[in-house]
Amino acid sequence: ETIRLAEAADARQPITRFAPHSAASEDYRAFARELLRSERAIASGTEGSHGSWWKALVSSAARRPG
Protein backbone atom coordinates (compact mmCIF):
# COMPACT_ATOMS: atom_id res chain seq x y z
CA GLU A 1 0.00 0.00 0.00
CA THR A 2 2.74 2.50 0.84
CA ILE A 3 4.27 1.76 -2.55
CA ARG A 4 1.35 3.70 -4.04
CA LEU A 5 2.65 6.82 -2.28
CA ALA A 6 6.05 6.43 -3.91
CA GLU A 7 4.43 5.75 -7.29
CA ALA A 8 2.26 8.85 -6.93
CA ALA A 9 5.32 10.94 -6.10
CA ASP A 10 7.18 9.52 -9.11
CA ALA A 11 4.17 10.36 -11.30
CA ARG A 12 4.07 13.86 -9.73
CA GLN A 13 0.44 13.43 -8.78
CA PRO A 14 -1.25 13.74 -5.42
CA ILE A 15 -2.19 10.40 -3.89
CA THR A 16 -5.83 11.47 -3.99
CA ARG A 17 -5.67 11.55 -7.78
CA PHE A 18 -3.19 8.72 -8.40
CA ALA A 19 -4.93 6.17 -6.17
CA PRO A 20 -8.16 7.79 -4.96
CA HIS A 21 -9.47 4.69 -3.18
CA SER A 22 -6.24 3.71 -1.44
CA ALA A 23 -5.86 3.74 2.34
CA ALA A 24 -3.29 6.55 2.04
CA SER A 25 -5.75 8.65 0.07
CA GLU A 26 -8.52 8.03 2.61
CA ASP A 27 -6.12 8.89 5.46
CA TYR A 28 -5.13 12.11 3.73
CA ARG A 29 -8.77 13.11 3.30
CA ALA A 30 -9.52 12.34 6.95
CA PHE A 31 -6.53 14.45 8.02
CA ALA A 32 -7.63 17.33 5.77
CA ARG A 33 -11.18 17.19 7.18
CA GLU A 34 -9.83 17.28 10.75
CA LEU A 35 -7.47 20.13 9.91
CA LEU A 36 -10.27 22.20 8.38
CA ARG A 37 -12.61 21.41 11.27
CA SER A 38 -9.95 22.49 13.77
CA GLU A 39 -9.20 25.70 11.91
CA ARG A 40 -12.90 26.59 11.75
CA ALA A 41 -13.22 25.92 15.48
CA ILE A 42 -10.21 28.10 16.25
CA ALA A 43 -11.55 30.90 14.05
CA SER A 44 -14.96 30.76 15.73
CA GLY A 45 -13.51 30.53 19.25
CA THR A 46 -15.06 27.11 19.90
CA GLU A 47 -11.85 25.16 19.61
CA GLY A 48 -12.16 22.93 22.68
CA SER A 49 -9.40 20.41 23.26
CA HIS A 50 -8.80 19.74 19.56
CA GLY A 51 -8.01 23.38 18.88
CA SER A 52 -5.61 23.44 21.80
CA TRP A 53 -3.92 20.35 20.37
CA TRP A 54 -3.64 22.03 16.98
CA LYS A 55 -2.21 25.24 18.46
CA ALA A 56 0.37 23.22 20.40
CA LEU A 57 1.35 21.29 17.27
CA VAL A 58 1.72 24.44 15.18
CA SER A 59 3.66 26.31 17.83
CA SER A 60 6.05 23.39 18.43
CA ALA A 61 6.66 23.11 14.68
CA ALA A 62 7.37 26.84 14.50
CA ARG A 63 9.96 26.55 17.27
CA ARG A 64 11.80 23.71 15.52
CA PRO A 65 14.93 24.77 13.65
CA GLY A 66 14.52 24.66 9.87
CB 47 within 8 A of CB 41: yes
CB 8 within 8 A of CB 18: yes
CA distances from 14 to 19, 21, 32, 41 (A): 8, 12, 13, 27
Predicted structure pTM score: 0.59
pLDDT digits (tens, 9 = 90+) for 3-49: 888 999 999 999 999 999 999 999 999 999 988 888 887 778 766 65
